[in-house]
Protein backbone atom coordinates (compact mmCIF):
# COMPACT_ATOMS: atom_id res chain seq x y z
CA UNK A 1 0.00 0.00 0.00
CA UNK A 2 1.50 3.28 -1.09
CA UNK A 3 0.72 5.89 1.52
CA UNK A 4 0.92 9.63 1.48
CA UNK A 5 0.44 11.29 4.83
CA UNK A 6 -0.49 14.87 5.54
CA UNK A 7 -1.59 16.68 8.65
CA UNK A 8 -5.26 17.42 8.02
CA UNK A 9 -5.09 20.69 9.89
CA UNK A 10 -6.65 23.11 9.94
CA UNK A 11 -3.53 25.20 9.81
CA UNK A 12 -4.09 28.87 10.54
CA UNK A 13 -1.53 31.56 9.82
CA UNK A 14 -1.80 35.35 9.87
CA UNK A 15 -1.66 37.28 6.65
CA UNK A 16 1.91 37.93 5.57
CA UNK A 17 3.33 34.95 7.45
CA UNK A 18 4.95 31.83 6.03
CA UNK A 19 2.71 28.79 5.80
CA UNK A 20 4.49 25.44 5.98
CA UNK A 21 2.76 22.32 4.72
CA UNK A 22 4.29 18.90 5.15
CA UNK A 23 3.90 15.50 3.53
CA UNK A 24 5.54 12.12 3.99
CA UNK A 25 5.33 9.14 1.69
CA UNK A 26 5.98 5.47 2.16
CA UNK A 27 7.21 4.28 -1.24
CA UNK A 28 10.95 4.84 -1.34
CA UNK A 29 11.15 4.56 -5.12
CA UNK A 30 8.66 7.36 -5.77
CA UNK A 31 9.84 9.58 -8.58
CA UNK A 32 7.97 12.84 -8.70
CA UNK A 33 5.92 14.91 -6.33
CA UNK A 34 3.18 17.46 -6.68
CA UNK A 35 1.27 20.01 -4.69
CA UNK A 36 -2.32 20.78 -5.67
CA UNK A 37 -4.51 23.52 -4.27
CA UNK A 38 -8.23 22.90 -3.95
CA UNK A 39 -10.66 25.65 -3.11
CA UNK A 40 -13.93 24.64 -1.53
CA UNK A 41 -16.32 23.33 -4.16
CA UNK A 42 -13.69 23.39 -6.89
CA UNK A 43 -11.37 20.82 -8.44
CA UNK A 44 -7.65 20.56 -7.62
CA UNK A 45 -5.22 22.88 -9.36
CA UNK A 46 -1.58 21.98 -9.84
CA UNK A 47 0.69 24.58 -8.25
CA UNK A 48 4.08 22.90 -7.87
CA UNK A 49 5.99 19.89 -9.17
CA UNK A 50 9.34 18.67 -7.89
CA UNK A 51 11.57 15.81 -8.93
CA UNK A 52 15.01 16.37 -7.47
CA UNK A 53 16.17 16.72 -3.90
CA UNK A 54 16.37 20.28 -2.68
CA UNK A 55 14.26 23.36 -3.13
CA UNK A 56 12.24 24.59 -6.08
CA UNK A 57 10.85 28.09 -6.02
CA UNK A 58 8.01 29.58 -8.03
CA UNK A 59 6.88 33.01 -6.93
CA UNK A 60 5.70 32.83 -3.33
CA UNK A 61 5.77 29.04 -3.37
CA UNK A 62 8.75 26.84 -2.53
CA UNK A 63 8.63 23.06 -2.70
CA UNK A 64 11.23 21.11 -0.76
CA UNK A 65 12.07 17.47 -1.35
CA UNK A 66 14.16 15.11 0.75
CA UNK A 67 14.03 11.62 -0.74
CA UNK A 68 16.23 10.12 1.95
CA UNK A 69 13.70 11.18 4.59
CA UNK A 70 10.75 10.56 2.24
CA UNK A 71 9.51 14.03 2.92
CA UNK A 72 8.17 16.82 0.76
CA UNK A 73 6.98 20.21 1.90
CA UNK A 74 5.42 23.37 0.54
CA UNK A 75 6.21 26.81 1.87
CA UNK A 76 3.98 29.75 1.06
CA UNK A 77 5.61 33.08 1.74
CA UNK A 78 3.68 36.28 2.41
CA UNK A 79 0.48 34.28 2.85
CA UNK A 80 -2.68 35.93 1.58
CA UNK A 81 -6.32 35.26 2.47
CA UNK A 82 -6.72 34.01 -1.11
CA UNK A 83 -4.31 31.19 -0.24
CA UNK A 84 -6.94 29.75 2.10
CA UNK A 85 -7.68 26.33 0.61
CA UNK A 86 -6.94 22.65 1.01
CA UNK A 87 -3.49 21.63 -0.20
CA UNK A 88 -3.08 18.12 -1.55
CA UNK A 89 0.25 16.35 -1.72
CA UNK A 90 0.53 13.81 -4.53
CA UNK A 91 3.22 11.27 -5.34
CA UNK A 92 3.95 9.56 -8.65
CA UNK A 93 5.45 6.17 -7.90
CA UNK A 94 7.16 5.53 -11.19
CA UNK A 95 8.29 7.13 -14.39
CA UNK A 96 6.27 6.54 -17.52
CA UNK A 97 2.96 6.47 -15.70
CA UNK A 98 0.62 9.23 -14.63
CA UNK A 99 -1.04 7.59 -11.67
CA UNK A 100 -0.77 9.59 -8.47
CA UNK A 101 -1.28 8.76 -4.82
CA UNK A 102 -2.88 11.62 -2.94
CA UNK A 103 -2.74 12.61 0.68
CA UNK A 104 -5.96 13.61 2.37
CA UNK A 105 -4.98 17.27 2.26
CA UNK A 106 -4.16 20.03 4.71
CA UNK A 107 -6.68 22.80 5.16
CA UNK A 108 -4.99 26.20 5.35
CA UNK A 109 -6.69 29.33 6.63
CA UNK A 110 -4.93 32.68 6.27
CA UNK A 111 -6.31 35.17 8.76
CA UNK A 112 -6.47 38.80 7.57
Partner 1 sequence: GAVVSQHPSWVICKSGTSVKIECRSLDFQATTMFWYRQFPKQSLMLMATSNEGSKATYEQGVEKDKFLINHASLTLSTLTVTSAHPEDSSFYICSAGAYISYNEQFFGPGTRLTVL
Task: Map residue 58 onto helix, strand or coil.
Answer: strand
| Interacting positions 33-72 with partner 1 (CB under 8 A) | 33-34, 36, 41-46, 49-51
β-bridge pairing 4-6 and 19-25: antiparallel
Cα–Cα distance between 93 and 49 in angstroms, integer? 14
Cα–Cα distance between 60 and 87 in angstroms, integer? 15
How many residues in the shown chain lie near partner 1 by CB under 8 A?
27
**Per CB under 8 A, 97 contacts partner 1:** yes
Candidate segments 17-25, 26-34, 66-74, 75-83, binder of partner 1 by CB under 8 A = 26-34
Neighbours of 1 (CB within 10 A): 5
Conformation bin of residue 93: beta by default, left when phi > 0, alpha when psi is -120 to 50: alpha
**Per CB under 8 A, 109 contacts partner 1:** no
Closer residue to partner 1, CB minimum distance, 8 or 15: 8
Closer residue to partner 1, CB minimum distance, 40 or 82: 40
Closer residue to partner 1, CB minimum distance, 69 or 98: 98
Cα–Cα distance between 11 and 108 in angstroms, integer? 5
List contacts with partner 1 (CB under 8 A).
31-34, 36, 41-46, 49-51, 88, 90, 92, 95-100, 102-105
Amino acid sequence: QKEVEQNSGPLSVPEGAIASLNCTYSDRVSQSFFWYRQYSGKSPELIMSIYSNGDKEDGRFTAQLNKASQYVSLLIRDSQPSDSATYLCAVNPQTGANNLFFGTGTRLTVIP
